[in-house]
Amino acid sequence: MNIVLIGYRGTGKSTVAEILAERTAKEVVSSDGRIIEKAGMSIPDIVEKHGWDHFRDIESDVVDELCAREGIIVDAGGGVIIRERNIRALRAGGTVFWLTAKINTIVERIADDDQRPSLTGTKSFVEEIEEVLDQRLPLYRAAAHHTIETDDKTPEQIAEEILSIIGK
C-alpha cells in the first residue's frame, strides 16, 4: 500500500514526504518530478509549449505508473485531483492524505516559487490561490481518506500524525 500526499502547493507535501521516507525506508516519488523526466522539460515549458491539457495527460499517465507500484510515498502535484481517473487510481493504490493550509500560510510558503505557471493567467497571486482552492476543495475532500491541517505544525509533526494513522 502506498502513502499518497495531495493538496495545494505549499501545504508541505514534498517536505513531509521526505520525512516519511526517512522514517519508513520507503521511496518518495514526486509526480511532478516524473512528469518533468518524461517530458524532458520543466512544467512551465510543458504548459507554454503544449498547454494544460497535455500536461494533465502526462500527469494521468504518471499516476497510473505510480499506482502500479507498491510501498512508495507519492508526492502528488496539486492539480492531480482535477481528473476523476487520477482520484480513483490514487485511492485504489494507497491511503490518501490531504494536507491543507490557510491561504495566508500558502502565500508565505510559495511566494518565491517560480517553477509553476499561472493557473488562471489573469489574477493576482492571492486571487489565483483563492479561486483555484475554491474550485479544488471539493475534489481534494472527495479524494482524501484523511485530512491533515498543516498551518501550525512542523513537517515532523505532520509526518508523525500520518504514521500514527497508518499504524507505524
pLDDT reported for residue 150: 96
Q: Is 148 helix (H, G, I), strand (E, B) or coil?
A: strand
More confident residue, 127 or 97: 97
If one counts the domains in the chain, the total is 1
User: Does some domain include residue 104?
Assistant: yes
Q: What is the pLDDT of residues 3-43, one digit of tens each?
A: 999 999 889 999 999 999 999 999 999 999 999 999 999 99
Indicate which CATH number applies to the domain containing 77: 3.40.50.300
User: Does some domain include residue 69?
Assistant: yes
Question: What's the burial of 115, exposed, middle or buried (CB within 10 Å: 0-12/13-18/19+)?
Answer: exposed
User: Does some domain include residue 167?
Assistant: no
Cα of first residue to Cα of last residue in the chain, in angstroms, is 13
Give the confidence band of 109 by pLDDT, cuts at 50, 70, 90: confident
Q: What is the pLDDT of residues 114-146, one digit of tens each?
A: 555 545 556 677 888 888 899 999 999 999 999
User: Does some domain include residue 19?
Assistant: yes
> What's the average model confidence in pLDDT over 92-100?
96
Distance CA 59, CA 65 (A): 10
pLDDT reported for residue 71: 96
User: Does some domain include residue 168?
Assistant: no
The range of the structural domain enclosing residue 38 comes to: 2-162
pLDDT reported for residue 110: 81
More confident residue, 127 or 48: 48
- pTM, two decimals, is 0.90
Contact 14, 148 (CB under 8 A): no
* pLDDT at residue 91 tops 60: yes
Contact 29, 66 (CB under 8 A): yes
* pLDDT at residue 58 tops 70: yes
User: Does some domain include residue 100?
Assistant: yes
User: For residues 61, 66, 67 and 73, what is the CA-based torsion angle, rounded to 10 degrees?
Assistant: -140
